[in-house]
Amino acid sequence: MTIHSILKMGDPRLLRQAEPVAEFDTETLHGLVYDLIDTMRAANGAGLAAPQIGVGLQVVVFGSNERNPRYPDRPLVPHTVLLNPVITPLTDAIEEDWEGCLSVPGLRGRVPRYQRIRYSGFDPYGDSIAREVEGFHARVVQHECDHLIGMLYPMRMRDLRLLGYTDVLFPGLPAEDDD
């Protein structure tokens, strides 16, 4: 479909609350999902939320069947399209780990996230999705869903001394994979 420009931190559209999807299985919705997937893949993203391309709907895509060059040592996350998501922590345990974001290019930060969550919502056809996940999968889902409430990962960080340029923090990663 179409590869969109990804909004960058500072754009006020990234700070807005997204609206729930009201109609499923429409041509417009399927077009948006294809555009999100194509844009995410073109940018080597682990996920992408509709607000990142300027669309104020509760739609996120994440995962792939292939290793992500931006996160080469992380486990695979199944390709998922999730609409109107709800996240429920399954434990009080929080883990800090490194995250990047296509809307915050060239930077990484240590972000606290719940270790185990349940997420639920719908696919583009209106069928229910419900999964219990942990680790990197849980981190990716929480990160993408934050975009739906106008939250970027630096806003979650507890210590901005743990925010830095990817090429300095991870010199082995190709710089072009994080821009």
Average pLDDT of the segment spanning 136-160: 98
Residue 176, SS3? Answer: helix
Q: How far apart are alpha carbons 69 and 5 in whole angstroms?
A: 20
Q: Which of the pair, 103 or 70, is modelled with greater confidence?
A: 103
Q: Which of the pair, 69 or 25, is modelled with greater confidence?
A: 25
Q: Which of 24-28, 70-74, 164-168 is predicted least confidently?
A: 70-74
Q: Is the pLDDT of residue 71 over 90?
A: no
Q: How far apart are alpha carbons 107 and 90 in whole angstroms?
A: 29
Do residues 62 and 141 make contact, with C-beta atoms less than 8 angstroms apart? yes
pLDDT band at 20 (very low <50, low <70, confident <90, very high): very high
- Percent of the chain with pLDDT strictly greater than 90: 88
pTM, 2 dp: 0.94
pLDDT for residue 65: 84
Among 152, 63, 64, 170, which Cα is nearest to 103's? 152
Catalytically annotated residue among 27, 66, 144, 176: 144
pLDDT band at 177 (very low <50, low <70, confident <90, very high): low
CA angle 2, 8, 13 (to 5 degrees): 85
pLDDT for residue 179: 54
Q: How far apart are alpha carbons 152 and 148 in whole angstroms?
A: 10
23 labelled catalytic? no
Mean pLDDT over the full length of the chain: 95
pLDDT for residue 176: 60
pLDDT in tens, 28-41: 999 999 999 999 99
Among 177, 117, 164, 178, which Cα is nearest to 144's? 117
User: Tokens for 127?
Assistant: 């069928």
Residue 65, SS3? Answer: coil
The span from the first CA to the last CA of the chain, in angstroms, equals 22
Other beta carbons less than 10 A from residue 55's beta carbon = 16
pLDDT in tens, 116-128: 999 999 999 999 9
